[in-house]
Chain A
Amino acid sequence: MNLIQYRKWWYIISLVIIVPGTLSLALWGLRPSIDFTGGTQIEFSGTNDKSKVEELAKADNIENFTVTTSGTGLIFRTKVADVEKEKKLKSDVEAQISGAKETRIDTVGPSISKEITRNAILMTIAASLVIVVYIAIMFRKVPKPANSWEFGAAAIIALLHDALVVLGIFSILGHFFNVEVDPLFITAILTVIGFSVHDTIVIFDRIRENLVRGSYPDFETAVTVSVNEMLPRTLNTSFLVWVILLVLYFFGGSTIKYFVLALLIGVFSGTYSSILNASPLLVSWENFKASRKKR
């Protein structure tokens, strides 16, 4: 089996998923949860009467609100925090809808979340740089013409690929299905990145070993053999993680459903990108360098 040979197809498949996602990301962005926007979120249990709550909220002069049904009841949101109006709404809902009970009230200031988001983005950039440097150092012994920085760069491209796949899909889900991203989503993205690099490095490590051993005629063969040798372990591991995640998705708590979904997508993408993007990219790069030399 020569997976590397069909590398153009693997690149195209990646682009088919990434391009719409990135477009959606640019056009609509992500749908941020209240943790990012700030405002008030009230959860009512024991009722599904969305229109009645909407009616009551309008009667209480609350503007710019949304009511969504959740697994356990209703979630009421508004971006403006007004304690008096909230209290009024709470008592109105509890009085006029039998069985309705306020289970949770959140008032969130966006500034705190901005800090966390900013930290997360900064940390991701920092982590990426550290990863490139780490790989460049650990792979410094790869024989010429390969260069250890190419390995670092390829790992980062695979990492970006996976982050974009998850971000893009959630942007589309957010636009069409009102799926929101919350702080756990940041955690998910970071995990996906970690997993992606993990996967990529394990394969790169085998490529390094086979290159150093030097028993293969050219770079492409060495990469092909390495990928094939590592295929069972990569697929086995990803399969195991997938099994755990799938079980979590179907049987786990509702609060982590989208977190787990992000991980499911990310782990799949991570496996795909480490086998079918990162390693072929090394080959494309070497071939490109060789063809330029010839000219």
Chain B
Amino acid sequence: MARMKNKRKNWILVTILVIFIIIAGAIDWPSGVNIKVPKPKVTFEKKVPFVQIHKNGYLIDYSKNINIRQGLDLQGGSHLVYTVDMSGVTEKERTDALASLQKVIENRVNAFGVSEPVIYTGKSGNEYRLTVELAGVKDTEQAMNLIGKTAKLDFRELDSTGQNFQKTDLTGSDLVRANVQFSQTTNEPEIAIEFNSAGASKFAAITARNIGKPVGIYLDDQLISYPNVNQEITGGKAQITGKFTYTEARNLAIQLDAGRLPMPISVAEQRTVEATLGQDSIHRSIIAGILGILVVSVFMIIYYRILGLFSTVGLGLYLLFTIALFKLFSVTLTMGGVAALILSIGMSMETDVLVFERIREELRNGRTFAHAATLGFNRAWTSIRDSNAVSLIICGLLIWAGGTIRGFAIVLALGIVVGLTTTFLGTRALITLISKRKFVSDNRLFNVEREQGSK
């Protein structure tokens, strides 16, 4: 009975494994999966990860959306460091102010369409700094303009003559958000703006005063839009409509957003990284990595025979799953990350070696293969657990350290977890599958000498 149950359990495991392989394979496929779902009549404001609203009318457009993100060193791009002028902010509020600045710039860069910027703040001495890393952006001038531009936004109403706009007390500092959305009725791009509570009441007062009249939106004293007020707007939310193209609407939203930088920033450091430098490195390193894996596989097969074969299959699964995870979690792959990946392969092989050495030991003690395999996995577990737990703890600490180290630690941690999972679910299931077959009674299949006269 128990044996039947175990057998069934193993088949369930194998089935799950196959399902995972299919999913991971679909994610890994270079062109991505091509799933298109027509857009319903709902507008999403936020980008849901991996589900991006496409302007050509699809809610889900999976094709080529999942790529491994390459870091600055691999893809080239800009690395910009800003010093933040905190003179207008009280000591107490600085940490919060810095966080909100980071958020604003993050929104802005996202709106600009740069894939996954890396933005972090820091304090060195008395100086507050903000670092922006834009992989793939070669034009630093453009990037600097986009990020650092502190444009002044304000809203104006017509004076008594009805000829000229005059300033109101509503300015960019009252804005919480400005972003592009598509009109629910006409499907045209429009700009959604949102005020804070003070701004909302100011906006309500202004719109109440100006029903039927235009309100001017000025950026750096330039009139950029003058929508007509149809009714008093109290919720602090409004849309700016007009005959915008998507790009125009997006730029306008970015400009609006630019008007509400909480404090001035200035460029302290600027690096441009040429892509070719990185491309050469990554190509060579990937080829080297594949070569290394091949050599290791050959060694494993020669030394552990049939077990080595399973380990090579396990290694294949490991790579399949890791790449899928990289894509799913949008892990930014840097040179350090590539190195961590290759190292984690080494660690994953170590798990296999530990288990296989145990199995061989048990075989030498004269146990049947099925028994030896079970014992091997069970007894190797404590040392595998302890050594990997320590590695994971170190990774966890390093993720706090930041910078290149962070990327390295994340990749290594992911690699360790995936490695353990593949060995203890994948390789184990496969080995269990063959463990009852007749042919495995020949110990030479495992490079184990036949022991004479043992129990």
Contacts and interface: CB of A to CB of B under 8 A. Distances in A.
B108 interface: no
A253 B281 contact: yes
B277 A206 contact: no
Interface in B387-442: 387-391, 393-395, 397-398, 400-405, 408, 412
Contact of A191 (B291, B295, B343, B349): B343
A103 B273 CA distance: 8
A103 B131 CA distance: 22
Contacts of A109: 81, 124, 268-269
The size bracket of the interface on A is 35 or more
B357 to A, nearest CB: 4
Given A202-B387, A252-B288, A123 B403 contact: no
Contacts of B289: 244, 247-248, 252
B336 interface: yes
B interface majority secondary structure: helix
Contacts of B347: 198
Q: Which of B338, B350, B400 has the most CB of A within 10 A?
A: B350
A156 to B, nearest CB: 12
Contact of A112 (B81, B387, B393): B81
A241 B346 contact: yes
B27 interface: no
A80 B203 CA distance: 50
Contacts, number: 207
Contacts of A209: 382
Contacts of B35: none
Contacts of A248: 285, 288-289, 292, 339, 342
Contacts of B395: 194
Given A248-B289, A252-B285, 15 more contacts: A127-B394, A191-B339, A191-B340, A194-B412, A197-B394, A198-B350, A198-B388, A233-B354, A237-B346, A241-B349, A243-B296, A251-B284, A253-B282, A256-B339, A263-B343
A259 to B, nearest CB: 6
Interface of B: 73, 81, 122, 124-125, 127, 129, 131, 268-274, 276-278, 280-285, 287-289, 291-293, 295-296, 299-300, 303, 335-336, 338-340, 342-343, 345-347, 349-350, 353-354, 357, 361, 382-383, 386-391, 393-395, 397-398, 400-405, 408, 412
A186 B398 CA distance: 11
A183 interface: yes
Contacts of A187: 336, 339, 404-405, 408
A1 interface: no
Contacts of B405: 116, 119-120, 183, 186-187, 190
Nearest to A250: B288
Contact of B281 (A135, A236, A256): A256
Interface in A175-196: 183-184, 186-187, 190-191, 193-194
Contact of A247 (B122, B282, B291, B402): B291
A104 interface: yes
A115 interface: yes
A253 B129 CA distance: 32
Interface of A: 72, 103-109, 111-112, 114-116, 119-120, 122-123, 126-127, 130-131, 134-135, 138, 183-184, 186-187, 190-191, 193-194, 197-199, 201-202, 205-206, 209, 229, 232-233, 236-237, 239-241, 243-245, 247-248, 250-256, 259-260, 263
A245 B289 CA distance: 9
What are the nearest 4 A-B pairs in CB distance? A253-B281, A111-B124, A244-B292, A205-B383
Contacts of A134: 386, 389-390, 393
